[in-house]
Amino acid sequence: MSVLFGHPTGNPNSHHAALAYWEAGGLEAFCVPWVPRRWELDFLKRVPGLRGVTERLERRSSPELLELPLVEGRLGEWWRMSRRLAGVGAAGVAEEANLWLMKTLRRECARSEVHAVHSYEDCALLAFEEARKLGKACIYELPIAFHREWEERRLRLERRFSDWLDASSVGSQRSGASSEQKDLELEHADLVLAPSGFVRKSVERFSDREVAVVPYGVDLDFWSCGEPRLDEETGPLRFVYAGHASVRKGVPLMLEAWRLADLKRAELEMVGPWQLNQRTRRDLPSSVVWTGPVSRSALRERFRNADVFVFPSCFEGFGLVILEAMASGLPVIATDATAAPEIVDPDCGLVIPSESVDALVAAFQWVAERRGSLRAMGTAARVRASQFGWDRYREALTDAVTRLG
């Protein structure tokens, strides 16, 4: 079966999906706005003020992708990036990229060799409508749980943590296409690809579409363990969180639990953008440090200098950062609203109920009481993460799509 595949930006999981189809002899084309070439990245690094942007763009680039049949929209993507950097019309940039992908997939879908179209939430509808007319299959990927599940949780969480939000935050914790578009995309799907059991359950609550769970992978070469810290046994117990500081990610729950746990000689570092009101950031306990966004290399160093990774999310698709932390040798505390039930076992961490302050308090205290076991748990976490290389993802994807064919 020949598949027309697309992604609105190009990220690691989409790259490996394209490679999976290519390796199986079933990729008609990979539609993506821009795959940066090495010379382009080298040029951008020399432009003052663009080094950070270039580091993020490197996630879109891979020499292997240049061997694939690509359909790109480079000029349009450069224009969108320029506007984003200038802060002019940046709010609609993601929607424009989604629209570019939908129109491109709709056009390319007319190829006689195409048997199926594979696209993502928020950027599939136009292509799926065309595929239906032409009698071709629709493969729908949900990188995060179904939006109707989120709407229920969002209302509950925003009522509970209204003091943490300002006017711009309410209702904006998850953006994208309209609810009507999301519903129609799912309705057209012949197969839904879900990265976790949590996503699968969210679909099955609202639809009878066929769902295949295809867990994402992790770059085991990049995310690796460092040397043991000199103060590992005697210094403060170091927890690290990575992700947006938002209600959806469970940050208010985490900080409330941190205060209640009242751990002695413990620190919590938060890495990522702050999306709550500024008063809450100013009121952080002295044992909590907010770092803000950092590069992948800098995040890896944060992991290597920590003892435990905590990820209290209330609503996810997978939570790739969990695997990245585990591959870096960290035991984890994560909720059941992520892929943690599938990837975290008792030897390397704790899976707790989402939205529960009591569960987080107990998890913080449980870890503190077992400090002497954390290195062994970190070793077990690395071993467990090694079972989720991207090769496994590619095999699971092609297996699921082959059954559809």
Residue with the bigger pLDDT between 168 and 226: it is 226
Tens digit of pLDDT for each residue in 350-362?
999 999 999 999 9
- pLDDT for residue 167: 65
Tens digit of pLDDT for each residue in 100-132?
999 999 999 999 999 999 999 999 999 999 999
Helix H or strand E encompassing 16: helix 12-23
- Rg of the chain, C-alpha, whole Å: 21
396 and 191 Cβ atoms separated by less than 8 Å: no
- pLDDT for residue 90: 67
Tens digit of pLDDT for each residue in 287-337?
999 999 998 999 999 999 999 999 999 999 999 999 999 999 999 999 999
pLDDT-based confidence at residue 226 (cuts at 50, 70, 90): confident
Range in 42-51, 99-108, 134-143, 288-297 with the lowest mean pLDDT:
42-51
237-388 has the same fold as 3-217+390-404: yes
**CA distances for 358 relative to 152, 354, 362, 364, angstroms:** 22, 10, 6, 10
Backbone angles phi, psi at 270, to 5 degrees: -110, 125
Assess whether pLDDT exceeds 90 at residue 73. yes
Is domain 3-217+390-404 annotated with CATH 3.40.50.2000?
Answer: yes
Structural domain boundaries of the chain? 3-217+390-404, 237-388
pTM of the model: 0.93
CATH code reported for the domain at 237-388: 3.40.50.2000
Average pLDDT over residues 57-83: 91
- pLDDT for residue 351: 98
pLDDT-based confidence at residue 169 (cuts at 50, 70, 90): low
Residue with the bigger pLDDT between 52 and 116: it is 116
